[in-house]
Every structure is written in structure tokens, then in C-alpha cells.
Amino acid sequence: MKKIKQKIIERMGTQITLSIVHPEAEKLLEQADHLLASYENRFSANDFKSDLMAVNQQAGLNSVRVEPDLYELIQIGKEYSLSSNLALNITIGPLIKLWKIGFTGAHVPEQREIEERLKLIDPADIELDAAKGTVYLTKKGMEIDLGALAKGYFADQLKTFFQKEGVKSGLIDLGGNVLTIGENQKHKDGYWRVGIQKPSPIRGDLAGAILVKDKSVVTSGIYERSLKVNGKKYHHIFDSKTGFPIENELASITIVSDKSLDGELWTTMAFALSPTAVIQHIDNIPGIEALVITKANEVKITRGLVPYVILL
């Protein structure tokens, strides 16, 4: 059995772990780190020097030419934002920055402030020019935030890079977003065991594990970032219609899929549904499976995933 090499990186506000089996693993892991750095420089909504922020800073003023990969992800994000009836919304940036949940200065805004921001979060106001590769936000104050998509996109790109270089076994963990390559050499059955976090802020407090080969496992939950004011808890997953965090019985959603980007899309889009509706809906989508945990700690699983779940 060949030895697995690992690299741990602090980027994008999270701990990233890359593990691969390859004769030149150290060189490939270094190259992967450079790839992630370049993505961060282009896609970040928190770095004033990023390409994405150049688009946001020119909102209501000028169109901005961007690199093909950033253009592609904005195009995908706009398409799904519109087709999902805003369950996913890549123009939600002004609302996120108003509430600041998970950041310094988090607070419950006044209703008039929320209403002002709601005017700025319509993805139909993103104008794309494929021939020129430009993006234009038609209203001053608009902002694109690709946080609901970017990690999935990066993970898929890293997997493609590793596989082109001949990696047959590996794991990409972008903090709550896990993508596996081939089989796990440590286990005879070849399955990777991907832990499912309990709806708890304590990292590593697991509800169970999912067995996967060559699959993505993405989890999103209300426990990740929250704010408590006057006994009421507010989380960081917002309803684009009300301007407030979504209110339902969901604590977390885990999506298992081939592509990590699909996992990111569905963990966000499905959060607008009830726990039962999530399972019913995902059960009818080929190639996508789901596990949800409710606020009452009930676990619900799609039919195709049941044989691959170990609950603790």
C-alpha cells in the first residue's frame, strides 16, 4: 500500500486538508496550494483586491471583464438563483454585510435597513456579456457573493487537476466540503468514511458517517455561524424575500453527489424546504442523495443513501 501524503492549509477562513497518494505528492500538493491561492485572489467577497470585488466596486458604474472561470461561476450562480426562485441567491451580499453574522459587529438590523437591502439583491440585475467576458451589476450598492458555490467549484477543479496528474486515491477537505478521489486504501472495502457533524458548534462532534467512493459530501447547517439577541437565535442562511434568516425545522443538510458544486447548490437551495420536503424532493433527482438533521435531532435520509450511512 502506497503512503498517503497530506497538506494542511489555512485559507478562505477555514482549515483545508488535501490528502493524496502519488510518487510526487509533495510537488502536487504545493501546486494545489498555489491554485487555491489564485482562486482566493479572484473569487473572494472579503478581499478588496479580488477580481470579484472589482465587479462589486463598479456596481451601477461600469461592466468589468473577468477571467473565464469567475465568469462561468457567476453565470451558473445567476442561472440557479433565478431558477430556484431565490432559494439560492448570489446577489445576497448586501444583506450578509448588513447583518454581519459570524463577523465582528453582528446585529439585528432595523426593518428599514433590511428593506433597502432587499432592493439590491435581485440576480436579474446581473448583466453578462459572454462575447466580451464582462459582468455588470446594474444598481449601485449591489454585491455578488459566491460563498454558497465557490468551495464546491474549487474542490471540483482540484480533483480534475489531481486526476490529470495521475492521482488515483485522495481526499479534498475544504472545511465542511469533502470530495473523494477513487478508493480509500486504508479500508478493505475501499470506502472513505466522511463524518457528519452534529448540529453543534463543536467541530468533530459527529452524528455519524457516510461511506463514499469518488463522491462529494457537502454539509451546511445553522450551527456554523449564529447570533443570539434577547434570547432569540439568528443563523447565517437568509431568506431573500424577507431579509431575515430562514425559519424552519432544519438544522443541517448533507448532500452526496458526484460533483462538489452540485452539493453546494443543493445544500443552499434545499434549505428553503421542510425536512420532509427535502427528502421527497431529492429522492427524485438522479445522482443526488441527502441526509438532513432537524432541530429536534431527527435524522432523515434519501432511499439511495440509507445503505451507506452509519449513525452513532
167 falls within a domain: no
Judge if 116 and 216 occupy the same domain: no
Q: Which residues contact 44 (CB under 8 A, 6 or more apart)?
A: 12, 50, 52, 53
Judge if 131 and 201 occupy the same domain: no
Supply the CATH number for residue 291's domain: 3.10.520.10
161 falls within a domain: no
Dist CA 290 CA 256 (whole Å): 6
55 falls within a domain: yes
Judge if 218 and 292 occupy the same domain: yes
| pLDDT for 59 | 98
Judge if 207 and 130 occupy the same domain: no
pLDDT along the chain (312 residues), means of 10: 89 91 97 95 88 97 97 97 93 94 90 97 98 98 93 96 98 93 95 92 86 96 82 87 93 97 96 95 97 96 98 92
Dist CA 126 CA 135 (whole Å): 7
89: containing domain: 51-137
> For the segment 159-208, what is each residue's pLDDT rounded down to a tens digit?
999 999 999 999 999 987 999 999 999 999 999 999 998 887 777 789 99
| pLDDT for 1 | 67
296 falls within a domain: yes
| CB 231 within 8 Å of CB 270 | no
| pLDDT for 233 | 84
Judge if 133 and 195 occupy the same domain: no
| pLDDT for 208 | 95
Judge if 295 and 197 occupy the same domain: yes
181 falls within a domain: no
List beta partners, residue 232: 229
- How many folded domains does the chain comprise? 2
280 falls within a domain: yes
Judge if 59 and 123 occupy the same domain: yes
> For the segment 4-37, what is each residue's pLDDT rounded down to a tens digit?
999 999 988 889 999 999 999 999 999 999 999 9
Dist CA 87 CA 91 (whole Å): 12
Judge if 102 and 197 occupy the same domain: no
Q: pTM for the complete prediction?
A: 0.94
Supply the CATH number for residue 57's domain: 1.10.3980.10
103 falls within a domain: yes
94 falls within a domain: yes
